[in-house]
């Protein structure tokens, strides 16, 4: 059996099940609850988007959890105990979220300020705890992948894990569609709460069981790696020195800006997509939940096409530019499908949108690897991850807020115009991302960082 350093092919596939579970739960937690809160319970979209954004705002905690897993092993293992603790945490928060949302709905319906403020704050705290648990689980997970693979084997492992994440998203969307089919047309909060709580309880339990199976026996109980060498602390550039190098490189700032705009242009529609299907196309819950499945299927195909065919032929920068133009075109088609109210067109456009996202994501990840230095790889990957987390958070906040603004401008009787307002802004943001991408240069990045590092080392010698 072919091995990926400390992981056989079978164990790598098993270990990747955690990412599939994460993608599945993310769709169920965010997608289904978005639809229920905005369309069925009539929550203000800004409250929904703002609450869910707190998950992304917890992203800086990944640095803390990564450091904890490095320094404080549990029972001789540095990673898997924290993965399991994090998984238990986010599954628990997902189950608790359902009844709490309906308690918040009661407070909103009563219209009293103090209960509304109390439960709204609690909703943000709940989503924050969910985000912390995600950070606790995913950071040691990725660290363990690095621990058990060589630099040459790592792209293969990461590719498999990324595809499993997408497969999990598709499975999650299909699962919601099947589970909520009996809720079409149901508006009674008591019936909805009972059905959704039971569904989330089963999902949380299954995710915990699969995560335990995925992690069992993966990490050796030793301070030695798979080649028998004692692990020692890497002597890397400190945070202060890293900050000086990062701020001295224009290319780092340019690529950070590109990632910010690209990710925001891709995910600004995320908190309102299912509501778009419900309000403009009059789709029931069981069908709106399939929107993410079509998007996920397109993304999976796009990742494979981008990695195996497009990027090797066009190059990373050209492929990223192509993917961004495809995203921009898909957003225009998304508006057009709403104008015609064609359900078939909507699902078709989402496949194209996913295909574009997959191609652009594959090339963006490749560029991230090129724009990274071996001596400060963790710091730079953290910078790129911060850009993505910030833009995902802004997408959740501004997606719902801009929808509310569109409704205010166009009136509640014109939902298509309100949603088109958000999609049109996404088009403009993606166009800005394309313009910034034109200024990205891997060659200049290496020249700038090399000069900065040489100056830094010379100053230390003095």
Report the mean per-residue pLDDT for the chain. 79
Residue closest to 217 by CA, chosen among 22, 24, 12: 12
Return the bridge partners of 7, or none: 4
The rounded distance, in Å, linking the Cα atoms of 142 and 432 is 31
The per-residue pLDDT for range 114-128, each reduced to its tens digit, is: 888 888 888 888 889
Residue closest to 35 by CA, chosen among 50, 54, 22, 48: 48
Residue 352, Cβ neighbours under 10 Å: how many?
19
In the prediction, which pLDDT does 168 show?
84
Residue 243, Cβ neighbours under 10 Å: how many?
12
Radius of gyration of the chain (CA): 22
Q: Is the pLDDT of residue 24 over 80?
A: yes
Q: Is the pLDDT of residue 169 over 80?
A: no
Burial class (CB in 10 A: 0-12, 13-18, 19+), 15: buried
- pLDDT confidence of 28, banded at 50, 70, 90? confident
Q: Is the pLDDT of residue 422 over 70?
A: yes
In the prediction, which pLDDT does 274 show?
85
Tokens of 214: 């995925």
In the prediction, which pLDDT does 232 show?
37
Which residue blocks in 306-376 are alpha helix, DSSP H? 311-314, 316-340, 343-370
The rounded distance, in Å, linking the Cα atoms of 280 and 336 is 12
The per-residue pLDDT for range 70-113, each reduced to its tens digit, is: 677 888 787 889 999 999 998 998 888 888 888 888 888 887 87
The per-residue pLDDT for range 295-318, each reduced to its tens digit, is: 878 888 887 788 778 877 888 889
Tokens of 321: 């530019």
CB of 211 within 8 A of CB of 83? yes
CB of 69 within 8 A of CB of 139? yes
Q: Is the pLDDT of residue 332 over 90?
A: yes
The rounded distance, in Å, linking the Cα atoms of 396 and 54 is 9
Q: Which residues, including other chains, have CB under 8 Å from residue 153's CB and lie 6 or more apart?
A: 4, 5
Angle at 352 between CA 347 and CA 356, to 5 degrees: 145
The rounded distance, in Å, linking the Cα atoms of 393 and 55 is 8
Residue closest to 238 by CA, chosen among 422, 375, 384: 375
Q: Per mean pLDDT, which range of 1-10, 93-102, 141-150 is the poorest? A: 1-10
Q: What is the largest CA-CA distance in the chain?
A: 74
Hunting for tokens 């313009």 — which residue is that? Answer: 435
- Residue percentage of the chain with pLDDT more than 90: 18
Q: Which residues, including other chains, have CB under 8 Å from residue 449's CB and lie 6 or more apart?
A: 245, 249, 252, 373
The per-residue pLDDT for range 378-390, each reduced to its tens digit, is: 456 556 667 777 7
**CA atoms in the 13 A half-sphere facing the CB of 427:** 13
Give the architecture-level CATH label for domain 8-222: Up-down Bundle (1.20)
Q: pLDDT higher for 158 or 79?
A: 79
CATH 1.20.1250.20 placement within the chain: 8-222, 237-462
Tokens of 196: 């959704």
Residue closest to 34 by CA, chosen among 285, 305, 249: 285
- What is the CATH code of the structural domain delimited by 237-462? 1.20.1250.20
Angle at 144 between CA 140 and CA 146, to 5 degrees: 120
The per-residue pLDDT for range 197-251, each reduced to its tens digit, is: 888 889 889 989 999 998 888 887 654 444 444 343 444 444 555 566 667 778 8
Cα-flanking dihedrals φ and ψ of residue 436, to 5°? -70, -35
Average pLDDT of span 261-277: 88
Residue closest to 131 by CA, chosen among 183, 53, 68: 53
In the prediction, which pLDDT does 235 show?
41
CB of 255 within 8 A of CB of 440? yes
Question: Would you report the helix, strand and coil content of the chain in percent, each value rounded to 5?
Answer: 80, 0, 20
Q: Is the pLDDT of residue 61 over 50?
A: yes
């Amino acid at each position: 059996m072919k091995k990926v350093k400390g992981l056989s092919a079978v164990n790598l596939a098993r270990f990747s099940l955690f990412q599939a579970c994460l993608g599945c739960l993310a769709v169920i937690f965010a997608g289904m609850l978005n639809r229920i809160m905005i369309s069925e319970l009539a929550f203000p979209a800004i409250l929904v988007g703002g609450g869910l954004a707190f998950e992304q705002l917890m992203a800086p905690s990944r640095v803390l959890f990564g450091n904890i897993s490095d320094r404080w092993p549990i029972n001789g293992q540095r990673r898997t105990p924290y993965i399991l603790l994090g998984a238990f945490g986010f599954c628990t928060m997902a189950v608790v979220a359902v009844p709490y949302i309906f308690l918040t709905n009661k407070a909103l319906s009563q219209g009293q300020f103090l209960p509304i403020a109390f439960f709204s704050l609690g909703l943000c705290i709940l989503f924050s705890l969910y985000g912390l648990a995600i950070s606790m689980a995913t950071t040691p997970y990725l660290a363990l992948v690095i621990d058990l693979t060589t630099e040459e084997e790592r792209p293969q492992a990461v590719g498999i894990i990324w595809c499993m994440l997408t497969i999990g998203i598709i499975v999650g969307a299909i699962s919601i569609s099947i589970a909520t089919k009996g809720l079409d047309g149901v508006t009674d909060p008591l019936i909805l709460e009972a059905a959704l709580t039971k569904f989330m309880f089963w999902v949380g339990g299954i995710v915990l069981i699969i995560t335990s199976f995925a992690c069992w026996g993966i990490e050796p109980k030793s301070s030695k790696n798979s080649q028998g060498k004692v692990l020692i602390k890497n002597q890397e550039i400190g945070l202060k020195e890293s900050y000086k190098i990062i701020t001295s490189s224009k290319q780092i700032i340019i690529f950070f800006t590109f990632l910010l705009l690209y990710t925001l242009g891709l995910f600004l529609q995320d908190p309102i997509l299912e509501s778009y299907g419900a309000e403009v196309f009059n789709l029931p819950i069981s069908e709106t939940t399939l929107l993410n499945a079509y998007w996920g299927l397109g993304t999976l195909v796009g990742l494979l096409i981008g990695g195996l065919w497009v990027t090797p032929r066009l190059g990373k920068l050209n492929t990223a530019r192509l993917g961004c133009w495809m995203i921009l075109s898909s957003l225009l088609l998304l508006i057009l499908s709403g104008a015609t109210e064609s359900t078939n067109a909507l699902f078709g456009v989402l496949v194209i949108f996913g295909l574009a996202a997959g191609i652009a994501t594959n090339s963006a990840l490749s560029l991230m690897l090129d724009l990274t230095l071996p001596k400060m790889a963790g710091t730079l990957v953290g910078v790129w991850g911060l850009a993505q987390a910030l833009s995902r958070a802004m997408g959740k906040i501004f997606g719902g807020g801009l929808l509310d603004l569109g409704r205010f401008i166009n009136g509640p009787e014109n939902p298509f115009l309100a949603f088109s307002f958000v999609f049109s802004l996404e088009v403009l943001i993606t166009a800005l991302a394309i313009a910034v991408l034109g200024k990205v240069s891997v060659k200049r990045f290496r020249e700038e960082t090399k000069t900065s590092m040489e100056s830094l080392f010379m100053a230390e010698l003095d």
